[in-house]
Amino acid sequence: MIMNSEIRVRISKEYTQVYDSVRKGLNIEAHVLFFVCFCFAVSKRLEPIEIQNREDKFWSRTIAPQEWTAIYTFFLDKNNMNLKAIEDDEVVIRQAERYANAGMKLFLDELPKDFIRTIDEKQSIVASDKGETIKALLFALISANYEQENRDEDFTS
């Protein structure tokens, strides 16, 4: 719970090119994409998926404080406000990795196909028009938010 800066955050090797293409094409750092995928998984109530073929992708020191707060909040909420659940940052990050891994598949499904390229079964993001790609990414997030609100309303009614 101290926003430990010395943890290597891991992703599945399957998604290396997605992370690289987003960093190169859209200037969006790995920690942001990781957080986006984490939020997708959480909002769609996906089950976390264990990473099979791991790769160290970035240092936890790059994670922004507001992203840490959001991650802590989710695990606090999930564990009935038990502060012990977020005591160890390494445990928190390892769990978040599994959610982000689950969320990445969804993220790729949510983006229009024009923005995704598949070579040798590996996907990457097409950013020939940076503005349009970022817009599509934001739309995917906004629609997920909208769906979530409607789903919650249906559920409560």
Cβ atoms within 10 Å of 45's Cβ, excluding its own = 8
Query: Nearest-CA neighbor of 25 among 116, 130, 104, 124?
Result: 130
Q: Does 89 help bind another protein (rule: CB under 8 A)?
A: no
Q: By rule CB under 8 A, what string of x and - marks binding of each residue 42-81 to another protein?
A: xx--------------------xxxx-xx-xxx-xxx--x
Region near another protein per CB under 8 A, out of 27-35, 46-54, 90-98, 113-121: 27-35
Nearest-5° Cα angle at 31, 30 to 34: 85
Nearest distance from C-beta of residue 121 to another protein, angstroms: 21
Q: Does 9 help bind another protein (rule: CB under 8 A)?
A: no
Site for another protein in 104-133 (CB under 8 A): 128, 130-131
Query: Nearest-CA neighbor of 22 among 104, 102, 79, 106?
Result: 104
Binding another protein (rule: CB under 8 A), the pick from 27, 53, 118, 150 is 27
Rounded to the nearest 10°, the torsion over CA 64, 58, 148, 69 is -30
CA torsion sign for 136, 141, 147, 149 is negative
How far apart CA 41 and CA 57 sit, in angstroms, is 19
Nearest distance from C-beta of residue 129 to another protein, angstroms: 10
Using CB under 8 A, list all residues that contact another protein. Answer: 1-2, 20, 24-28, 32, 35-36, 38-40, 42-43, 64-67, 69-70, 72-74, 76-78, 81, 83-84, 87, 128, 130-131, 134-135, 137-138, 141-142, 144-145, 148, 152
